[in-house]
Chain A
Amino acid sequence: MGRKAYYPTKSAQIPDPMRLPELDAVLADINRIILGKERPIRLSLACLLARGHLLIEDLPGVGKTTLAHVLARVLGLDFQRIQFTSDMLPADILGVSIFDRGSGAFHFHPGPIFTQVVLADEINRATPKAQSALLEAMEERQVTAEGKTRPLPEPFFVIATQNPTHQIGTFPLPESQLDRFLLKIELGYPDPVAERELLAGADRQRMVAELTARVSPQRLIELQQAAREVHASPALIDYVQALAAHTRMAPRWQAGLSPRACLALLAVARAWAMLDGRKHVLPEDVQAVLPGVIAHRLRPVDDVARNDPEAVAAALIEAVALP
């Protein structure tokens, strides 16, 4: 017949499972401090490895700041926190040039964004002008001020938090800007066991201060590169396409997933697979990260479903067969 065999006949080359003990150690360190939140923590690390930025929407006091802080510490990165307020100006984020009388010239004083890990707290309290200054910097990974372009440090990771949008005094981010965040997660209240442990345990701030870096920034950049190279087979890409096609066809969503959203889904799924020690993506990876990817991108027509991204993602997953 001369039909091509489906698979090549050459002998099996079983790829070594990826051994990344340092990432396991990073996760272990964070989980030791933030209790009972394995999944959101893993997702935030995957987000960082995929070179994306993270949006956390939750109530104050559930550990958003601690998470950002801990991540920076164990990864050996600088950390800055920007508290967004309604009277904030772009210069408060990006930096400002000040005339130095001694040298008789303007000197640029870099803003808090020139840091490897930035915690942008309560981003939806600021005006759209300040918001977009941050979001543009996130996207371009550089800052242009007074005609000079200054690159941001590498790795560069923004964790933005926002209050639930129904709270007063908020400027909700438009959908196009939400799209700049790779993932949106919620931390939520800890379960009673974890909470008890937290209450009875040592002081968290001291624990954070005692943390040591598990990887160097250079190694982190290598890991980000490795995450990008995790294999996504044709069958898996078919699956991502099928998911997107379903959201575009089905009447339950106002608009389907964009190609950029599909890229995001694939990127996070790759990092997630790498955290699992695999060099290829499985549908399980896609399904695991799907809620975080679609939470801020897919708006259900149905108002009730809007606030539960897990349920929305589950419905989507169950509607699409694996190709």
Chain B
Amino acid sequence: MARANRPVSRRQAWWLLAGALAAFLPLTQQIPPWLAFAAGAAFAWRAALTWRQWHLPPKWLLVLLVIAGTVAVFLQYRSIIGRTPGIALLVVFLALKLLELRAARDAIVTALLCYFLVLGQFLFTQTIPTALLSCVTVLITTATMLAASDDRPEPLLQLRRAALMLAQAMPFMLLLFVLFPRVQGPLWGLPQDRHTATSGISETMSPGSIAQLSQSDAIAFRVEFKGELPPQSRLYWRGPVMPAFDGRTWSIRQTLGAYPEIPYPVSGPSIDYDLTLEPNGKFWLFALEMPGNLPPDSALTSDYQPISRQIVRNRMRYTQRAYPETNAGINDTRAALNEALALPSGGNPRTRALGAEWRNRHGDDGTAILATAQEFFSRQLLIYTLNPPLLGPDLVDEFLFDTKRGFCEHFAAAFVYALRSAGVPARVVAGYQGGEVNPVDGYLVVRQYDAHAWTEAWIAGRGWVRVDPTAISAPSRINTNLAAAVPAGEDLPFLARTDLTWIRELRYRLDAVTNGWNQWVLGYNPQKQRDLLAGLGLGEPDWRSMTAALAVLCGVVLLGLTAWVLRNRRRVDPAFAAWRRFAARLASRNVVWRDWEGPLAFADRAARSIPAHADTIREIADLYARLRYAPAPCADDLERLRRRIAGFHP
């Protein structure tokens, strides 16, 4: 077609370059550096071509470069399919396509490649800035595409048209977003936002490991309470339980049994909430102690920690009910308790002696020993600090009797050690404590610096009882927050500080927006869709009927639009249509009509090639020329032309 062959103007080339850059730049982190540089060089080349109006590189060079690029991508990834190799390949194609912008057709292909790259970005990250940037890219790309298929290439005009068209498409986009059948998990299961890499609580705890987390203000999860916000001191978010101790490091059990449902009877008041967990790269699901139900597709370990069946790579939201006054494990087996009594042989003689003394005094009375231990801890006047001194091999002894300065892991470790020395089963529980309410949207935000370690002791007849030794020495850590508990002057992450209110205010707002995005856009899952449809009175359709309904709806709308467009399009001259039939017949005799050739000139050529039909050919061409170019053409002539062509069989 003539339009597709129209050359690309300089201005159009600039705009295409801008669109391609906008699509390419966010991907530079995902593709290998050599490709980023190579593509950058191609873009620079394109800019030079446009600026200096140089000749385009020859075709053989481009073919060579495409092959080289594809091979390089293959060598890099050992594959050319899959997410990253696919994107890398698209980048290669885009960069090289820009170097052969000849006609409008090339401009359109370039624009389509840009669209694909925009889509590709979402396979890596789905944050708000990504979405905003891709809106800009789509706008520029759409404008260049419009310019390629329109006679008026003014960029601003096309930009306005593109914006208008995208705005018109917005309702459809929203409709499809809401109604398109959702499948569990994203279709590709791919987005890995950068926060997967942030550290969180780990499987082991040694002195300093949680204090390290206190320097991070990354978000662990957000919580929306259904009712009143419970007091801060109740917010113990249970994470991995660590019964094993090797003298320095506490760790989780290597093999865990799992309960498919809650194994203990629940009692007492309950707290209902929705938790939106950020990806943590582990199986762990955090929940308020003690969980009264299990999130979907999860189980409870024999240590009563909820775990997912898949690694938490994507943000997930689940509804929970907690029973803070419930104690689990009344009927725990001896085997489990034995593990909670084990101590490495040797070391910490003073704490061992202390435990033995408690044991002598109280015998098997766990409650009494627990009370004694708590009293001992409070008497020792231990200091809660982010910068505890380094400890030697007998770290419990040194902490309890010498340095007396420690972070929550020191407190928890020492407490469990002392209890086990006295023959009371005990273990360390890691997780988060507290959180901070964002006044903008009312969500409780739990960050990495809220990481905490506390203990559980097993008391006959009561089961596992939570004891937080940090709370004994530094109650403000539990009742308020970290900043209130640590001595003034210690390094705190920016957001944990209580001064600089206006920045906190700003951050709260940003965080509320991000949270809204996470909850309503990224977190729009099958469950939410079902709820919404049910709320609209549509019942709970399954995905099959939804797909069918959507397909029918789209089909009807598209048919309607097509009919409308067809009715209003510029009609093809019927004489021209007949002429094309005529040309096709002659093409079968190897006389090909070139689309710029005048009818009489073509007839001359054709008549010379096929002298047997010369008269008919000239007559048809004459009729056609008169119909299209003479004054007052009429339908009779058209009829005659059609008849002649119908009877023409060269």
A contacts, CB < 8 Å to B = 5-15, 231-233, 235-236, 242, 245-246, 249-252, 279-284, 287, 301, 317-323
Given A318-B594, A322-B597, also A246-B635 (CB < 8 A): no
Q: Does B82 contact A (CB under 8 A)?
A: no
Contacts of B600 in A (CB 8 A): 282, 284
Find out whether the CB atom of A282 lies under 8 angstroms from the CB atom of B625.
yes
Find out whether the CB atom of B634 lies under 8 angstroms from the CB atom of A236.
no
| Contact of A6 (CB < 8 Å), options: B153, B574, B629, B631 | B574
Find out whether the CB atom of A321 lies under 8 angstroms from the CB atom of B596.
yes
Find out whether the CB atom of A282 lies under 8 angstroms from the CB atom of B629.
yes
How many angstroms from the CA of A317 to the CA of B601 in the assembled complex? Answer: 13
Find out whether the CB atom of A6 lies under 8 angstroms from the CB atom of B638.
yes
Find out whether the CB atom of B53 lies under 8 angstroms from the CB atom of A251.
yes
Q: Does B246 contact A (CB under 8 A)?
A: no
Find out whether the CB atom of B634 lies under 8 angstroms from the CB atom of A10.
yes
Find out whether the CB atom of B595 lies under 8 angstroms from the CB atom of A322.
yes
Closest to A320 in B: B596
**A-B residue pairs in contact (CB < 8 Å), sample of 9:** A7-B575, A9-B634, A10-B634, A12-B636, A233-B631, A235-B629, A251-B8, A251-B9, A279-B630
| Contact of A7 (CB < 8 Å), options: B1, B53, B595, B635 | B635
Further contacts, 12 of them, CB under 8 A, given A12-B634, A282-B599, A319-B596? A5-B635, A6-B573, A12-B637, A13-B634, A14-B626, A15-B632, A231-B629, A233-B628, A246-B6, A251-B53, A283-B598, A287-B598
Interface pairs A-B: 7 shortest CB-CB: A284-B598, A321-B595, A321-B2, A283-B598, A231-B631, A250-B7, A280-B630
How many angstroms from the CA of A283 to the CA of B626 in the assembled complex? Answer: 12
Find out whether the CB atom of A235 lies under 8 angstroms from the CB atom of B630.
no
Closest to B151 in A: A245
Contacts of B595 in A (CB 8 A): 321-322
Closest to B632 in A: A13
Bitwise interface map of B from 627 to 650 toward A, beta carbon under 8 Å scored 1, else 0: 111111111111000000000000
| Contact of B631 (CB < 8 Å), options: A5, A15, A252, A318 | A15
Given A282-B600, A322-B596, A322-B598, also A233-B630 (CB < 8 A): yes
Find out whether the CB atom of A249 lies under 8 angstroms from the CB atom of B6.
yes
Contacts of B6 in A (CB 8 A): 245-246, 249-250
Contacts of A13 in B (CB 8 A): 632, 634
Contacts of B571 in A (CB 8 A): 6
**Chain A proximity of B415: nearest CB distance (Å):** 80
Find out whether the CB atom of A317 lies under 8 angstroms from the CB atom of B596.
yes
Dominant secondary structure at the A interface: loop
Find out whether the CB atom of A280 lies under 8 angstroms from the CB atom of B629.
yes
Contacts of B573 in A (CB 8 A): 6, 235
Closest to B50 in A: A251
Find out whether the CB atom of B637 lies under 8 angstroms from the CB atom of A7.
yes
Q: Does B249 contact A (CB under 8 A)?
A: no
**Chain A proximity of B49: nearest CB distance (Å):** 10
Contacts of B2 in A (CB 8 A): 242, 320-321, 323
Q: Does B5 contact A (CB under 8 A)?
A: yes
Contacts of A317 in B (CB 8 A): 596
Q: Does B195 contact A (CB under 8 A)?
A: no
How many angstroms from the CA of A236 to the CA of B576 in the assembled complex? Answer: 13
How many angstroms from the CA of A301 to the CA of B54 in the assembled complex? Answer: 11
How many angstroms from the CA of A317 to the CA of B2 in the assembled complex? Answer: 12
Q: Does B581 contact A (CB under 8 A)?
A: no
Bitwise interface map of B from 1 to 26 toward A, beta carbon under 8 Å scored 1, else 0: 11001111110000000000000000
Within 8 A of A (CB), among B566-581: 571, 573-575
Find out whether the CB atom of A249 lies under 8 angstroms from the CB atom of B629.
no
How many angstroms from the CA of A12 to the CA of B634 in the assembled complex? Answer: 6
Contacts of B630 in A (CB 8 A): 15, 231, 233, 279-280
Within 8 A of A (CB), among B64-101: none
Find out whether the CB atom of A319 lies under 8 angstroms from the CB atom of B5.
yes
| Contact of B153 (CB < 8 Å), options: A249, A282, A321 | A249
Contacts of A7 in B (CB 8 A): 574-575, 627, 633-635, 637-638
Contacts of B636 in A (CB 8 A): 9, 11-12
Contacts of B637 in A (CB 8 A): 7, 12
Find out whether the CB atom of B628 lies under 8 angstroms from the CB atom of A235.
yes
Contacts of A284 in B (CB 8 A): 598-601
Closest to A7 in B: B635
Which residue among A252, A283, A301, A317 has the maximum number of chain B CB atoms within 10 Å of its CB?
A: A283
**Chain A proximity of B228: nearest CB distance (Å):** 69
Find out whether the CB atom of A282 lies under 8 angstroms from the CB atom of B598.
yes
**Chain A proximity of B106: nearest CB distance (Å):** 13
Contacts of A246 in B (CB 8 A): 6-7
How many angstroms from the CA of A279 to the CA of B631 in the assembled complex? Answer: 8
| Contact of A251 (CB < 8 Å), options: B7, B599, B635 | B7
**Chain B proximity of A275: nearest CB distance (Å):** 15
**Chain B proximity of A11: nearest CB distance (Å):** 6
Contacts of A231 in B (CB 8 A): 629-631
**Chain A proximity of B149: nearest CB distance (Å):** 13
**Chain B proximity of A272: nearest CB distance (Å):** 12
How many angstroms from the CA of A318 to the CA of B598 in the assembled complex? Answer: 11
Bitwise interface map of B from 595 to 614 toward A, beta carbon under 8 Å scored 1, else 0: 11111110000000000000
Contacts of B626 in A (CB 8 A): 14, 280
How many angstroms from the CA of A235 to the CA of B575 in the assembled complex? Answer: 11
Find out whether the CB atom of A280 lies under 8 angstroms from the CB atom of B631.
yes
Closest to A314 in B: B596
Which residue among B575, B595, B630, B636 has the maximum number of chain A CB atoms within 10 Å of its CB?
A: B630
**Chain B proximity of A13: nearest CB distance (Å):** 6
**Chain B proximity of A172: nearest CB distance (Å):** 24
How many angstroms from the CA of A252 to the CA of B630 in the assembled complex? Answer: 34
Contacts of A321 in B (CB 8 A): 1-2, 5, 595-596
Which residue among B53, B629, B632 has the maximum number of chain A CB atoms within 10 Å of its CB?
A: B629
How many angstroms from the CA of A245 to the CA of B150 in the assembled complex? Answer: 11
Closest to A242 in B: B2
**Chain A proximity of B366: nearest CB distance (Å):** 89
**Chain A proximity of B55: nearest CB distance (Å):** 9
Contacts of B10 in A (CB 8 A): 251
Which residue among A14, A233, A319, A320 has the maximum number of chain B CB atoms within 10 Å of its CB?
A: A233
Contacts of B627 in A (CB 8 A): 7
How many angstroms from the CA of A48 to the CA of B597 in the assembled complex? Answer: 27
Contacts of B575 in A (CB 8 A): 6-7
How many angstroms from the CA of A60 to the CA of B401 in the assembled complex? Answer: 118
**Chain B proximity of A216: nearest CB distance (Å):** 28
Bitwise interface map of B from 538 to 565 toward A, beta carbon under 8 Å scored 1, else 0: 0000000000000000000000000000
How many angstroms from the CA of A319 to the CA of B627 in the assembled complex? Answer: 24
Contacts of A287 in B (CB 8 A): 598, 601
**Chain B proximity of A4: nearest CB distance (Å):** 9
**Chain B proximity of A126: nearest CB distance (Å):** 35
**Chain B proximity of A66: nearest CB distance (Å):** 31
Contacts of B601 in A (CB 8 A): 284, 287
**Chain A proximity of B231: nearest CB distance (Å):** 72
Contacts of A236 in B (CB 8 A): 628-629
Closest to A302 in B: B55
How many angstroms from the CA of A108 to the CA of B601 in the assembled complex? Answer: 54
Find out whether the CB atom of A281 lies under 8 angstroms from the CB atom of B629.
yes
